[in-house]
Amino acid sequence: MNTALVMPARTGKMVILGRVLSGLVIAFLAFDGAIKLVPLDVVTETLAVLGYPADVGLARLLGVLTLLCALLYAIPRTSVLGAILLTGYLGGAMATHLRADSPLFTHLLFGFYLGVIAWAGLWLRDRRVRALIPFKTETQA
């Protein structure tokens, strides 16, 4: 048996599912960024609980970064860059929750869940990403 890299063909269902998953990520990030721009009291209180200053300027900066990542991810030409930046941002959020001893499955790993959904959506809707991250399949010679 030969082992070959197989890149699945782009199908309509794959693209639709990829857009739905990506849309969910974008909607969450837009909401999260917006509440940090305002900022709501819950944002500054959460910053304090996580060990950061309860500073309105810091909350707004995080909101701008969140919205920038979401915007870059949403635009097809910059979606890979957006996903990379988003991965770094979510990694920082996970590190913060680890340091603050937050609950594992609901808080600490939420960034991981969101990152997996973001990359899955991008993989499903973008053939360039499928070419970079192919799945190995055994085929008959």
Q: What pLDDT digit, counting tens, does each position of 16-35 carry?
A: 999 999 999 999 999 999 99
Q: Among candidates 6, 2, 8, which has minimal Cα distance to 125?
A: 8
The torsion angles phi and psi of 6, rounded to 5 degrees, stand at -120, 125
Q: Rounded to an integer, what distance in angstroms lies between the CA atom of residue 69 and that of residue 33?
A: 10
Percent of the chain at pLDDT exceeding 70: 89
**Tens digit of pLDDT for each residue in 39-77?**
899 999 999 999 999 999 999 999 999 999 999 999 999
Q: Rounded to an integer, what distance in angstroms lies between the CA atom of residue 37 and that of residue 40?
A: 8
Q: Rounded to an integer, what distance in angstroms lies between the CA atom of residue 56 and that of residue 62?
A: 10
The pair of three-digit structure tokens given for residue 69, joined into one six-digit string: 């990542």
Of all helices (H) and strands (E), which one includes residue 107?
A: none
